[in-house]
Structure formats: structure tokens, C-alpha cells
Amino acid sequence: MKKDLFADIKDNVKKCVSQSRLREAFSLARTLSEGNMAWEISDTLDEAEQSYRRLLSYAVSGAEDPARDEMTAEIGETILTITDRLERNNTAKEEPTLYYNNLRYLRANPAENIPSLLDKYLKDCSEKSLLDLVASGTHSTGFHAATSERELLERKIFNLLWITFPLSRGDAEAIGSTLGSKVLPDHAVVLFTWALALGGLEFYDARRLELLCNLYTGGSQQVSAVALIGLLTVMHRWRDRLMPRRLRDRFASVRELPIWLPDLRAAYMELTRTRDTDRISAKIRDEIVPEMMKLRPEFERKLSPSETVTPEDMEENPEWQEMLDKSGLADRLKEMGEIQEEGGDIMMGTFSHLKQFPFFNEIANWFVPFHCDRSEFADIPGNGGLSKIAGMFEPLHFLCDSDKYSLLMSLAHVPAAQRDIVMGQLNAQADQFNELRAASLDLPADSRRDLIRRQVQNFYRFFRLFRRKGEFYNPFGEGVNLVAVPALVEDVKEPELLTLFAEFYFSHQYWQEALDVFEIIDSIAAPSAAVYQKMGHCLMKLGRTSAALSCFEKADMLDNRSAWTLGRLAKCHAMLGNHSSALAACERLEELRPDQPSNSMAMGRAHLALGHHTEAVNSFYKAFYLDEESGKALRPLAWSLLMDKQFDQSRKYYERVLTDFDPKPEDFLNMGHLSLATGRFAEAQNFYRLSILSRPRPAGSSGNPVIDTAKAAVSGANASGDVPRASIESFIADMKADAPALSHLGVAPSLIPLITDALLYSLS
């Protein structure tokens, strides 16, 4: 079946299930199963429909059934899961993505199933096998071959756990018992946990979520952190799907653990911070690095060819520090330091270019924890002694696993002398990091937060940097906002906690996310003027002016002395055409903050819109007096004088606009109106001509129209030339829009088209 047709039918199935029209949903799902000739799935669908028929017969007989609603919801969820399986089958036929390539391989090799491969790996990881590897020595070819073989098996299991859907009861039991056996190396359990999470993002599978709950509560510190991130991102991905009773009960037991709330909040903050990673990387790339490159010649000039400079020297030399201060680089470096202290990911941009090694072509390698027993690090000729360097990398807790692999791969191609310098710098940073950790008063909690942060960074780097990342659903694309997950709302529904996240979103201009969180805060906390102000600001940024106005009105009721709120009230009313209300807000603002040019401007616009021309003149005069230097009030003052029929005064200010500022098309247009209203028809024609010729020209046109028209105005020349049709049409539209104003000035409506036609003849 064609993908578009399948998608339409699936959307209808989801709609029917959401509206409890299950009979119709069964019918649509059967259309899909018959179209795919998926007879095994059709049998499952028949069994589900028989269960639904029995439920209906009990319902119409009047029998009491307290579990009826629960059963109905679970049957609806069964229909959705069956539809997912059918979609997967339909897509698998031709889709060239990694997921479906692996699925086709699995179907061609049915002997490679989860229980059998896990059993093989478990035996391979037995105590005897490990002793054999140790006895063979890391320098032996046998060690390298055995390690490579085990890594190949790990990748096969990873791929199986990733693409198997849905997990059968036998699959889930094998996964649970093997990963909980304490025989597997921790790096393998972490890798397989990531595979469960990655597969859970493809299709909704309640058994995966249950396994992630078990791994969170029963795994090592690192496994628990990975399971937590997987659990939260998968729950967010499928936040609209039903959690079966068994999963709800298991998740309820997780929520009772003392560590759950601190872990959830730490993970929520790290997931939220990923929204700012691109901004941080762009700041480093576009601001800090270019500034450093600009300063390089100056530093080289001040240094002899053999002289080197260290950061400590920079601090001691006032000339160098002065150079940094003048360039603004010192402030940017200070800002980066503050971002790093807050937990911002400043390493993403640095290591993004080091993910091109063949190692990262294999999807599983993005998720394997950094450890020294990798085949790539074995002490064999030609690898540059990486095993020793790898041992130094393991304790570098300020780097996530993915970045450690990146750095180590790059060091393999660096000369030994430069490699020693890099390692010395890394060791110095590691010592500083360990000193800070040792000085912490809450070391276990800090360690846990660091671990969660690194797992989020590992996950984030895959979805942003993997060469085929476009084939995957990216949980970070829309942002992982946990307040949108019904099962988690109660755990994060705390005003102080939510305020922390809302302020993060707000300060970094993620308006929709900030609004979502502020709305929840508003629903659970006492009304707050500040919250309504920020909600209104978010809504204005999102273009929802009416909703913003409502928020600002609530803020005003709670604090009627806020000048900021009154200014936004006036702006919203003006944007919605409520000019009387806008004027009233401006008048209140004038009482609080008299003599503000921006408020005088707003009052003038409101008076103009209401036809209060004399009052508008007074307001714009005041604005001009308060801020004559900027000239912002010149144009509206000249126009209001024109509308008040003070023609000489209007001409005076329009001439100042034309001489002191870059004239715009509307300036020439309004001068034309002024000339027309005072009976200077030839002058009006000339200004209208300049208005047309000064309008923006299509890309590729030669010359500067503003300069050309200005020269024409001085010399009196007929600067017609070739006039773009768009300029003429724009002028005609402006004349039609200004027809009421011209009528107010005494210009006969019948004269306007005549003036326009005469002008266009002169331009032809």
C-alpha cells in the first residue's frame, strides 16, 4: 500500500480510537492488514475484536463492570499497536533507512533472535572466558581478535534490541534476566539499555518502558542514569498513548523511591539545557573564535618567534589583558565561563568536527561507554600506543563518552610531541575538576548530576551529529518538556521547580516552551502579576495579540502601578485597533512616568487613529521636544500637522525630513499630498514621481534609486527612466489607501485618478 494512503488511514484509526469509535477503528485496521496480507496480525486483530464484542454484550445486558473503561481503553491501545505493526511491515518493503535495512536482515536470518544472542553473549562473558582473555595479554593478537569478536556480538544484540517490535514476553524475560545477571560488563548493559531506548522512540512498546524502569532501579549508577534518560524521552515521545495497568503499577513503584525526584529534576534540567546548546556553539563559532583570530597578529607582533605565552602569563601582563578587554573577548570568555558553571554544553561545538572517523559510522559506537578494553586501543603495532592514553581518559569526568572517543581517535594521528602537550593540558583540567568536586559539600549528588549530564550529552550528540541522523525521530527537535507528560506532571508540578525551567526558557527566548510552563504555574500557584506579564510577553512574541492582551489585563488588575504592563496594554490595544483603550492606557502611563518620548509617541498615534488631529500634534510636539536628536517624531509630527491643516508647519518639518534624513517613498508621497492640498499641482506631480522612483527595485537592478531621486530633486531633472511595474502598483495602492486623508484635506476624490494617470503618462 502506498505510504501516503496508509498514513491517511492510520490517522483515521487514531481519531476513531481517541473518540471511542472502536468498531470503526477495527474496520479501518482490517483494511490495512488485508492490504498488506499480514495474516498473523489479522488473527491478533480478530482476537481483540472478539474481546470487544464480549465487552459490548456485557454492557448492553446491564451487567456491572467497574473495569469496563479500563478494558475499553486497553483494547483501543491494542488497535493502535496493531496499526503500528502494520505500518512497520508496509514501510519495510522498500525504505532504505538503517532501521529497515536491519529489519530486513533480521527477517532473512531468523535464527539470530534476542534470547539466543543474549545467551551466547552471557556464556562469552562467563568467568572462564574473562580469565582466558586476561591470560592472553593485551599485547597478543588473540586478545585483539577475541575483543573484536565480542564487540561484533554486542553490535548484533544492540541492533536486535533496537529494531525488534513489539518485544514478546519471551524477549522481555530474556532481556530482563540477562541484563540483571551481574555477569555482563557494565559497558554492555549500558549499550543494551540505550538500544531499548532508541527502539522505544521508533514505536510505542510498553514492555520496553517496563524494562527501563527495572534497569533504572536495579542497574549500576551508569545504567540507572541511562535508563532514566531513556525512560523520560520515550515517555515524552508517546505522551498521548495509554500506559497499561502493569506498566502503571511498575512506574508507581519507581516514583516511591527517594532518589526519583532528585533524579527526575536533574534530568529535566539537563534535557532542558540541550535547547541552548546550538546557541552556545554558535556563539563560540561566530563570536569567540573570530575575535581570537583577529587578535592573533597582534599577539604575534608582541612576541618573539621563540616565545610562548600561557594563560597565566596573560593574566600577569596588563598589556595583553588590555587587548582582550578592548576587543570584548574578555567579556565573551567570562560569559562562556558562566555558561559552563551553569552546566551549559560548551564542548559540543568543539568536538562536532571530530565525529567523522569510521568508528562513528557504526550506530552502536555512539552509545558504548568509554572503556579501555576496546579493540581499537589494543597494544598492536600501528595504533600509536592508544591503550595507555585511553587509561588516562577514563577519569576525565568533564567529557562525555562520545567526546572521549573523538579526542582519542584524533590523537592517534597527532605527532607524539604535540600529543604529550595535549595530554598535559587535559591532566591539568582533570586535576582542577577533581579539586572542585572534592571541595563540594554534596559530592554524591554532584556525581549523580554529572553522570546524568554526560548521558544526556551522549544522547544529544547522536541525534545532532550522526551522519544519518535525518532517519531518526529526534526527541530534542521539539524539546523534551516533561510537563507535557501526564504521568510526570505530578512530580514536576511544583511552583519553585517549574519557575526555574520557565525562566530558563524565557531568558533564552523559547517562547512556546516558556508559555507552556508558565500556564501550569498559573494553574497551581497564587495569581502573580509577574507570571501574567511573562505569559503576555510570550504570547506577543508568538503573534497571539488577543491572548497577550488578556494576560496583561490580569497583570494590571494585580498591579495597577506597573509602567511596563501599561505600555504593553497600550501596544496590544493599538495592534487590535482598540485606539480608545490604547489612549486610556497611555494616559495612565503618563501619570506614572511623565515626559517619556515613547509614551508621547504612542499617545499621538492613538489620537491620530481617533481623528484627534490637534491632540496628536501636541503629543508629537512633546515627543519631538523630549527626543529631538533621534528625529523619530519628525514624520508623525509632520503628518499630524498636515491632517490638522497646518500646512506651513507641516512643510517645514517634511523639508527637514528630506534634508536631514534618508528620504523614504512615503516622505515624497506625503509631500505630494501636502502640495496637492495647497493647490501646487506641478510640485505634487514631481513629489509623486520621486515617490515611485525611490521604491525598492527588483534584485539585479542597477543604481541606487534613493540617491538618484535625491539628485533629481536637487537638479529638477526628470529622473524617469525605466520604472518597475511593482513600484507603480505600490504607488497606486498607497494613493487608494490615502484617499480618505486627501478627502479630509479638501482634495476632490475624482481628482485623484486623474492626477495618477497624468503622472503615469509622464513616466512612460
Q: What is the pLDDT of residues 457-488, one digit of tens each?
A: 999 999 999 999 999 999 998 888 888 899 99
DSSP H helices in 559-664:
563-575, 579-592, 597-610, 613-626, 634-643, 647-660
State the Cα–Cα distance between residues 210 and 514, nearest whole angstrom: 31
- pLDDT surpassing 70 at residue 615: yes
State the Cα–Cα distance between residues 188 and 154, nearest whole angstrom: 7
- pLDDT surpassing 90 at residue 174: yes
Q: Which of 15-19, 151-155, 417-421 has the lowest mean pLDDT?
A: 417-421
Q: Judging by beta carbons within 10 Å of its beta carbon (0-12, 13-18, 19+), is residue 271 exposed, middle or buried?
A: buried
State the Cα–Cα distance between residues 574 and 579, nearest whole angstrom: 5
State the Cα–Cα distance between residues 733 and 728, nearest whole angstrom: 9
pTM of the complete model? 0.74
Q: What's residue 344's pLDDT? A: 52
From residue 177, give the alpha-carbon distance in Å to each of 44, 125, 129, 447: 27, 15, 20, 28
Output the CA torsion sign for 64, 67, 73, 74. negative
pLDDT by residue (tens digit) across 90-130? 999 889 999 999 999 988 888 889 999 999 999 888 754 55
Q: What is the largest CA-CA distance in the chain?
A: 107
Q: What's residue 380's pLDDT? A: 45
- pLDDT surpassing 80 at residue 303: no
Sequence-distant (6+) residues with CB within 8 A of 156 are 112, 117
Residue 183: what residue type? Answer: V
Q: What percent of the chain has a predicted confidence (pLDDT) above 90?
A: 57
pLDDT by residue (tens digit) across 57-67? 988 888 888 88
